[in-house]
Structure formats: structure tokens, C-alpha cells
Amino acid sequence: MSTPAKPARSGGASAIGWVLTIGLNVVAPILTYNTLTEDHGWSEFSALLLSSAWPVLDTAIVAAWRRKIDEFAVVTLVFLVITAVVSLVGAHTARALLVKDSCVTGLFGLLCLATLLAPRPLMFYFGRKFATDGTPESTAWWNGMWQYEGFRSTMRTMTLVWGVAYVAEALVRVALAYVLATKTMVTLSPVMIYGVLGALGVWTAWFGKRRAAEGARRQAEAEAEAAAAAAATA
């Protein structure tokens, strides 16, 4: 059975989706947090909680636009709640904030590993979020790819790697928070967060293309063998 071709992406829908995702999940929270803490004297906790409203707005806009809340949005909301709860519980010191921040990424890693026991792993839903433009045609194509063993194996392997990487990253950052000066960790912590994310993103793109190429090669070989068998019996 041949793999169905990926439908053409809607350029406008894809561009709007990326602008919303990056603007409301990355740019707006950082600007809000820095503005409130540096210019208005807000506490780190209050600024963090208000900054978390932007990703919630993103989820609401996407839900209204697509008329549905997908699994990616649910995971985002869950981690916003976890981040808020973790930030408010326990000691309110700079070192404690660094440790709590590490715990959140560690929880994400554990969630990745836990979903390996679910019918579909977490990277399947993350892949659908970023590899499609969200239209019904592209969503249906992505969902239909699950029937292929190679695709299922790829999603599970990606989920395993992301889970292990984030658990390891969290453990390292927690250890460094107690070894290095707080001022040093304030600079190093985001570098580690985005460094790991960037490395995983590059690896994921490379691994996905490699698996796709392998799948295309196996499909071509199977079609060639079928054609040879048909010719031999003709």
C-alpha cells in the first residue's frame, strides 16, 4: 500500500498560525514579564502568572478559528497550570525559582515518556501541530499516516528521545542551580533551555527526513519486486 501524498499547505493559514504561535507563546510572554518586573516593579511570580495568559489566549484563538481544541492545546494548558502551581508552592527565592523552572521541563520529559504507553505518543500531536497547516485535509492526512508501522516507530522514537533529553536537562540544571552562583544560572538556564530545544528541533527534522527517505526506498523496492513478479508470471 503506497503512502498518500501530503496535501499542499495553505500558505496564508500556515503563516497566520506560525505568527500566532510564536507571538503569543514566545514573544509576548517574554516582553510582558520583562516589562512588569523591570519597569513596573512587579514580583517575579505575579509577572509570570500574567505572562502565562498569552498562551491561553493563543489556545482560545485557535479553538475559535478551528472550532476545536486539539491535544496540543490541552497539553499547553496543562503545563501552564503546572508552571503556575509550581511557582507558587515552596520557597520564594531566586534559586528556588530556578529549580522549579527545571522541574517543569523535567515534568515535560516525564510526560513524553509516559505517553509511550498511550495509543499515540506526544510527538504525534506535536508533529501534527507543526507539520500541517491545521486545515481538515492536512490534519486528515497526518492522522492517516498512523496506519504505517514506520511512521508509528518514528513518532515513538522521537517521543523517547525528547523525553530522555528533557529529563536529563532538568537534572543537570537542578544540580547546577546548587553549584553555580544564582547570577550565573540566571544567564545559563535559558541558554540551556533553548539550546536543548534547538538541538532537538534539528535532530527531529533530520531524523524525520531520514525515516521518510527510508520509507520511500522500501516502498520503491516493494513495487519493483511486485512488478518483477507480475512480469515473471505473465
Task: Give the count of alpha carbons within 13 A of 135, CB side only.
Answer: 14
Least confident of 87-91, 145-149, 205-209: 87-91
Q: What is the pLDDT of residue 171?
A: 93
Judge whether residue 164 has pLDDT over 90. Answer: yes
- C-beta of residue 184 within 8 angstroms of C-beta of residue 98: no
In terms of Cβ atoms closer than 10 Å to its own Cβ (0-12, 13-18, 19+), residue 225 is exposed
- Over the chain, what is the mean pLDDT? 77
Least confident of 20-29, 98-107, 176-185: 20-29
- pTM confidence score: 0.68
Helices 71-88 and 122-131 pack at an angle, to 10 degrees, of 110
Instruction: State pLDDT tens for residues 115-137.
Output: 999 999 989 988 887 777 667 78
Q: Which residues contact 184 (CB under 8 A, 6 or more apart)?
A: none
Mean pLDDT value of segment 40-53: 72
